Amino acid sequence: MTYDRLVCANCAGPVSQGRCRVCRANRERLQQEGPFSGGINPVALVALLVILVAALALVAQQTA
């Protein structure tokens, strides 16, 4: 999740503006974690990979 859409519970301002110490701390934490840290769950990634391989196998079987 990006911090530009988050609203601080402490000051009710956008976290991206860093109005209070809580905003600034969360903004720093989110910047350090990187863009893919809160992304897809590893189990969901494996399931997606299995579905993709099954779909490719089905397509290969249909063309042969």
In contact, 9 and 19? CB cutoff 8 Å: no
- Over the stretch 3-60, which tens digit does the pLDDT of each residue have? 677 888 889 888 888 889 998 888 888 878 765 556 677 888 899 999 999 999 999 9
In contact, 26 and 14? CB cutoff 8 Å: no
Three-state DSSP at 11 gives: coil
Distance, CA of 44 to CA of 33 (rounded, Å):
20
Tell me if the pTM is above 0.75: no
pLDDT reading at 1 higher than 60: no
Q: How many degrees, rounded to 5, is the angle at CA 12 between CA 9 and CA 16?
A: 95
Count CB neighbours of 17 within 10 A.
14
